[in-house]
């Protein structure tokens, strides 16, 4: 997104328009729902921070989103990560999902929720690592987004941060909507 913003400024300058109008337009720009939209829900002093990445997922976008999320600090609580399957990964799918383990752990998430059949490989990898490292958080894995919704909603509280990321076909956007409904009204 930063590279695109810089490119827009350069084009505005080169075209003779100047950067003033481009900067004003960029100031109004934000990530759309499902593609990195970050919102604070609830009371200003102790909101729930929601990062909505529920529209798409592939290895590169998962790694990039988790890298960004690693710098996020919960306002006053725990850090949650909800990841859904990366669809259409072919026969390498299990290995690609399990290969996300290091990126997951680098986020600093204290609560990890995984959704979908392919995410079982990541759940297994994280549980295997937890056998020799007590600092690895517990993992909850469910086959569908519908099944993970109640456990996630029950665990979240004001002051927490949560990122939801997965392929659109996993249907994590209804979970995002339920989080918003529960926490937007302080």
Tens-place pLDDT, residues 85-143: 999 899 999 999 999 999 999 999 999 999 999 999 999 999 999 999 988 998 999 99
Q: What is the pLDDT of residues 152-177, one digit of tens each?
A: 999 999 999 999 999 999 999 999 99
CA–CA separation, 113 and 128 (whole Å): 16
Are residues 46 and 76 in contact, defined by beta-carbon separation less than 8 angstroms?
yes
What is d(CA 72, CA 107) in angstroms, rounded to the nearest whole number?
8
- Asked if residue 6 has pLDDT above 90, the reply is no
pLDDT given at position 26: 45
- Comparison of pLDDT for 43 and 127, the residue scoring more: 127
Q: Which of the four pLDDT bands, split at 50, 70 and 90, describes residue 144? A: very high
Alpha helices in 91-172 (DSSP H): 93-98, 101-106, 119-130, 145-155
pLDDT of 14 above 80:
no
CATH number of this structure's domain 32-184, picked from the four choices 3.20.20.70, 3.10.110.10, 3.90.190.20, 3.30.365.10: 3.90.190.20
**Is pLDDT at 55 greater than 50 in this prediction?**
yes
Full DSSP string of 54-81 = -S---HHHHHHHHHHHTT---SSS-EEE
**Paired residues of 79 in beta bridges:** 161
Inter-residue contact 152 to 175 (CB < 8 Å): yes
Share of the chain above pLDDT 70, in %: 82
């Amino acid at each position: 997104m930063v590279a695109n913003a810089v490119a827009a400024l350069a084009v505005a300058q080169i075209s003779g328009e100047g950067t003033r109008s481009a900067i004003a337009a960029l100031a109004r720009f934000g990530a759309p729902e499902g593609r990195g939209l970050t919102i604070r829900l609830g009371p200003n002093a102790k909101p729930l921070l929601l990062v909505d990445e529920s529209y798409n997922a592939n290895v590169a976008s998962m790694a990039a989103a988790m890298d960004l999320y690693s710098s996020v600090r919960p306002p006053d609580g725990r850090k949650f990560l909800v990841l859904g399957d990366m669809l259409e990964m072919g026969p390498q799918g299990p290995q690609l999902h399990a290969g996300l383990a290091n990126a997951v752990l680098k986020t600093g998430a204290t609560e990890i929720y995984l959704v979908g059949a392919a995410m079982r490989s990541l759940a297994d990898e994280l549980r295997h690592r937890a056998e020799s490292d007590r600092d690895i958080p517990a993992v909850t894995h469910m086959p569908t987004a519908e099944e993970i919704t109640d456990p996630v909603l029950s665990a979240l509280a004001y002051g927490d941060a949560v990122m939801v990321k997965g392929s659109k076909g996993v249907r994590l956007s209804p979970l995002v909507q339920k989080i918003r409904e529960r926490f937007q009204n302080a």
